[in-house]
A and B are shown apart, each in its own frame.
Chain A
């Protein structure tokens, strides 16, 4: 995504914007500042990103959305805290808080980051001349943050790998599956809160795969789940394999990320030891009513036991507390993949299953539950 020029970031399409509902609200009602032809004077006490305080600036007209979105992962970033805590990184600890603030908190997405400008984590800038878009832009909003893995996979940026069929043939964008209900944490139906007999109520999610699958493939491909689409393999594997086990292709994994502050500029920086494409089937550690699968694709996340040592040695005090090869849902779905070509491409194939010999010795303990000990053979 090409960066915007400074003037582009702040250019208002007066004709279009004033014609919208938000264009009826005075500039100062959201941005404050001073009325002056002088730039510095006009920008005194300016609030460049009003939706950083959504209750004050968005909640008056959108009270329900603001209330529910506060519990969404985009707002809480609980996904990060969940995995950090499970690896022994303490909460309310100065070094951990500093690290989180410098390297993780910028992933917070405000209302404006999705509906009016590019996210501030990629330097912002109006998308449509300050016009508020009900549906975020795939490239300017979603993949601006989710670009390195999801964006590149979905758009077919990896050499020799086709774009996701939903994009290639359906020209579907992110919001076609990831609806406003999901993004804002507002339930679209009963099951979004009551996810089966064991859940009379659901707390806010604490990671991206918490709770019901939303979106789910079956929402559109209902006949697959019912087993009446005439495809034997769907009948044979449904419930045992996640859809991506058969319909995904290679995706990116990363190793050894270390974060620090630059000695030259003081800016937060990271360094990863490597990234690579691959496809690996592992055991599902998140088995539940909503995700009953025995096997799922797994992706290596770049955590290491020394990732945060710049802030405090030993901050990752329980590295083996969570797997480093994690349940994943690659966004490069294809109707036909190597796995669908032949039974023997999976059954009895040691290259496609995550076995112990593929895992770094220091990570074996963490991945005990993910490792496939016995490669399924042909029945």
Chain B
């Protein structure tokens, strides 16, 4: 009796495993198709971001001013290079020449 039950369970188990395996294979194939469609987008976006974010707003402004007839217009890279330091208080502190305290050598009211 016990052997009969064990045999019939084994038949059910093997057939279930085969079915499950088929389902998983189909699922895997379909999922891979979705992923491969999305990958190119995800790959392009991170590469564009570093250049796009800082440059575009200033470049748009400079182009606008150029359209208004300024002879010497803003080049976004030009502005960025100077402002990287000169708009950054800490950067200016870090790169400032050492202060040389000079006592006035003049005397009396100037």
Across the interface, A35 reaches (CB within 8 A) one of B72, B78, B87, B93, namely B78
CB of B77 within 8 Å of the partner chain: yes
Interchain nearest-CB distance for A20 vs B (Å): 11
B83 pairs with A14, CB closer than 8 A: yes
A12 to B92, CA, bound (A): 10
Question: Chain A residues near B84 (CB, 8 Å)?
Answer: 37
A25 pairs with B87, CB closer than 8 A: no
Interchain nearest-CB distance for B4 vs A (Å): 83
Across the interface, A25 reaches (CB within 8 A) one of B70, B85, B107, namely B70
- Whether A6 touches B99, Cβ cut-off 8 Å, given contacts A27-B82, A35-B77, A35-B81, is yes
Question: Chain B residues near A24 (CB, 8 Å)?
Answer: 61-62, 65, 70, 73-74
B:63-110 near A, CB below 8 Å: 65, 70-75, 77-79, 81-87, 89, 92-93, 95-97, 99, 102, 104-110
- Whether A272 touches B107, Cβ cut-off 8 Å, given contacts A10-B86, A39-B85, is yes
B96 pairs with A27, CB closer than 8 A: no
A31 to B86, CA, bound (A): 13
- Whether A272 touches B110, Cβ cut-off 8 Å, given contacts A7-B92, A24-B74, A37-B81, is yes
- Whether A11 touches B92, Cβ cut-off 8 Å, given contacts A27-B79, A37-B81, A148-B109, is yes
B87 pairs with A14, CB closer than 8 A: yes
Mark contacts of B30-52 with chain A using CB atoms, 8 A cut-off: 1 yes-contact digit, 0 otherwise.
Answer: 00000000000000000000000
- Residue contacts A-B, CB under 8 angstroms, 29 given: A6-B97, A6-B99, A7-B93, A11-B86, A12-B86, A14-B87, A18-B61, A18-B79, A24-B61, A26-B79, A27-B79, A27-B83, A28-B82, A33-B82, A36-B81, A148-B109, A148-B110, A252-B109, A262-B105, A265-B102, A267-B102, A267-B105, A269-B106, A270-B106, A270-B108, A270-B110, A271-B107, A271-B108, A272-B110
CB of A336 within 8 Å of the partner chain: no
Chain A residue nearest to B68 (CB atoms) is: A24
Question: Chain B residues near A361 (CB, 8 Å)?
Answer: none
Question: Chain B residues near A12 (CB, 8 Å)?
Answer: 83, 86-87
Chain B residue nearest to A147 (CB atoms) is: B110
Chain A residue nearest to B87 (CB atoms) is: A14
Question: Chain A residues near B95 (CB, 8 Å)?
Answer: 39
A:245-272 near B, CB below 8 Å: 252, 254, 257, 262, 264-265, 267, 269-272
A interface list, Cβ under 8 A from B:
5-7, 10-14, 18, 23-29, 31, 33, 35-37, 39, 42, 60, 130, 148, 252, 254, 257, 262, 264-265, 267, 269-275
A19 to B78, CA, bound (A): 16
A275 pairs with B109, CB closer than 8 A: yes
B92 pairs with A10, CB closer than 8 A: yes
A271 to B106, CA, bound (A): 6
Inter-chain pairs besides A11-B89, A254-B109, 12 sampled, C-beta below 8 Å: A12-B86, A18-B79, A24-B65, A24-B70, A25-B70, A26-B72, A26-B73, A27-B78, A27-B83, A37-B84, A270-B110, A272-B109
Question: Chain B residues near A252 (CB, 8 Å)?
Answer: 109
A25 pairs with B83, CB closer than 8 A: no
Interchain nearest-CB distance for A26 vs B (Å): 5
A33 to B82, CA, bound (A): 10
Question: Chain A residues near B89 (CB, 8 Å)?
Answer: 7, 11
Interchain nearest-CB distance for A7 vs B (Å): 4
Q: Give the one of A23, A37, A270, A274 with max B CB within 10 A.
A: A270
Interchain nearest-CB distance for B109 vs A (Å): 4
- Whether A26 touches B110, Cβ cut-off 8 Å, given contacts A6-B97, A10-B92, A42-B82, is no
B105 pairs with A269, CB closer than 8 A: yes
A265 pairs with B78, CB closer than 8 A: no
Question: Chain A residues near B97 (CB, 8 Å)?
Answer: 6
A6 pairs with B109, CB closer than 8 A: no
Q: Give the one of B70, B71, B73, B108 with max A CB within 10 A.
A: B108
A29 pairs with B72, CB closer than 8 A: yes
- Whether A7 touches B108, Cβ cut-off 8 Å, given contacts A12-B87, A26-B72, A37-B81, is no
A14 to B71, CA, bound (A): 21
